[in-house]
Amino acid sequence: MSKLIRHIFILLFIIAAGFESYGQANSLVPAKPNVTRTKKSGMGAKLEAARNNFISKQLDLSDHESTKFWPLYRQYQQELTAVRILKRLNNSSASSNGTEQIDKEIYYESQLVAIRKRYRDSFSKILPPEKVSKLYKSEQEFNDELIKQLSERSERAGN
């Protein structure tokens, strides 16, 4: 179980690291996910590109939908990442007041849910409800597959 938790934290770290450079990206936003103009490099860029390609295939967006969807989706990911970073920082330091740390943890979780709800409404203005549902399911499928692959790599490496 501790290996799974460690892999989840590694995954969140990789995702967060990839999005930390988001603010430094060029302000031009591509209509298609595989045409990026960001200055990301390394694992974060590869992970983002893989996630975007996976979601793009799952949603089968029209050109019109794609043009409106991807800028909004990047903004959504940026907000989620900001909260995840704060949550990770909260968990990285031992607090003398454990109750306060737990309250912050619950607060950050509620913020993640609030962001997902707010963007669900925004996505619904662009996409039909079936595609919005598919989006959230596709994100979870991608994360599950990523955790599975990280776990398999760790096992092969003997960790």
Question: What is the residue extent of each domain of the chain?
Answer: 2-156
pLDDT at 64 > cutoff 90: yes
- In angstroms, rounded to a whole number, what is the distance separating the alpha carbons of residues 11 and 43? 11
pLDDT at 131 > cutoff 70: yes
Cβ neighbours of residue 148 closer than 8 Å, sequence gap 6 or more: none
Q: Is the pTM of this model over 0.85?
A: no
**pLDDT score of 95:** 65
**Mean pLDDT in residue range 81-93:** 88
Give, in order, the Cα–Cα distances in Å from 31 to each of 16, 61, 156.
23, 11, 39
Residues 18-61 have pLDDT tens digits of 444 344 333 333 444 443 444 556 778 899 999 999 999 999 99
Phi, psi at 53, each rounded to 5°: -65, -40
